[in-house]
């Protein structure tokens, strides 16, 4: 059993899942891709990546809906495994039946808490690959998913309008409005007043000192 978990959206989980599935298909292995039925963002019936790559898939709300059909395949690839409540039991049963099981999904939700039962697969898996995305704010490696809406429900299927990949500093930073730039005090300078000669007051006579001159 192999897994490609990631705590960040846009890390290429489905892209990697389909790449590995096609690799097995080139070797003439019979492959089954399973997608979560409620995820119809890009296709009603196919597994699809953000950049438009698709693969024929079976839709299911729980993996038990597949019945015994999975036994006809050599490789079973499960997309968005965090949404399937029976992913652990299904993956273990298929692996013990000799099937190659590939599961991709988010291992943490937007609160950085375990998402679904993905982490229960870790001790049952032969190989685990953890992928990262690119932080939408600073461009560094992103290991977390940051919800940018006020919706508090756990399972909200959405794209860029609802989620952003984030690195640790950008995830923990609160989105507060930037303070307004400080105003520079306005300096007031007195300008010289120019008067016309006609407006100037008459010069005062010099004060006389001493006695008046005799005639």
Task: State the Cα–Cα distance between residues 188 and 136, nearest whole angstrom.
Answer: 46
Q: Which member of 16, 44, 68, 80 is catalytic?
A: 80
Is 178 marked active-site?
no
What sections of 10-165 are H helices per DSSP? 13-26, 87-96
For 40-182, strand residue ranges (E) read: 46-48, 54-56, 58-60, 75-78, 100-106, 127-128, 133-134, 141-142, 144-147, 163-166
Contacts of 169 (CB under 8 A, 6+ apart): 138
Residue pair 9/156 in contact (Cβ under 8 Å)? The answer is no
Could you tell me if 125 and 139 are in contact, meaning their C-beta atoms sit under 8 angstroms apart?
no
In terms of DSSP H, where are the helices of 123-188? 168-172
Phi, psi of 64 (to 5 degrees): -65, -15
Active site residues: 80
């Amino acid at each position: 059993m192999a897994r490609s978990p990631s705590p960040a959206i846009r890390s290429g989980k489905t892209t990697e899942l389909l790449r590995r599935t096609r690799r097995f298909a080139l070797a003439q292995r019979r492959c089954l891709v399973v997608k979560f039925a409620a995820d119809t963002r890009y296709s009603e019936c196919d597994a699809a990546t953000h950049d438009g790559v698709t693969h024929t898939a079976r839709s299911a709300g729980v993996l038990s809906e597949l019945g015994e059909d999975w036994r006809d395949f050599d490789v079973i690839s499960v997309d968005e495994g965090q949404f399937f409540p029976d992913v652990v039991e299904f993956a273990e049963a298929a692996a013990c039946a000799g099937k190659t099981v590939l599961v991709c999904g988010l291992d943490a939700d937007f609160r950085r808490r375990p998402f679904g039962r993905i982490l229960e697969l870790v001790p049952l898996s032969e190989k685990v690959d953890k992928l990262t995305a690119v932080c939408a704010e600073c461009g560094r490696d992103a290991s977390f998913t940051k919800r940018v809406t006020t919706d508090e429900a756990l399972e909200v299927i959405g794209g860029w309008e609802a989620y952003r990949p984030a690195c640790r500093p950008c995830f923990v930073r609160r989105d507060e409005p930037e303070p307004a730039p400080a105003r520079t005090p306005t300096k007031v300078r007195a300008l010289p007043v120019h008067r016309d000669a006609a407006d100037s007051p008459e010069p005062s006579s010099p004060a006389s000192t001493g006695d008046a001159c005799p005639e």
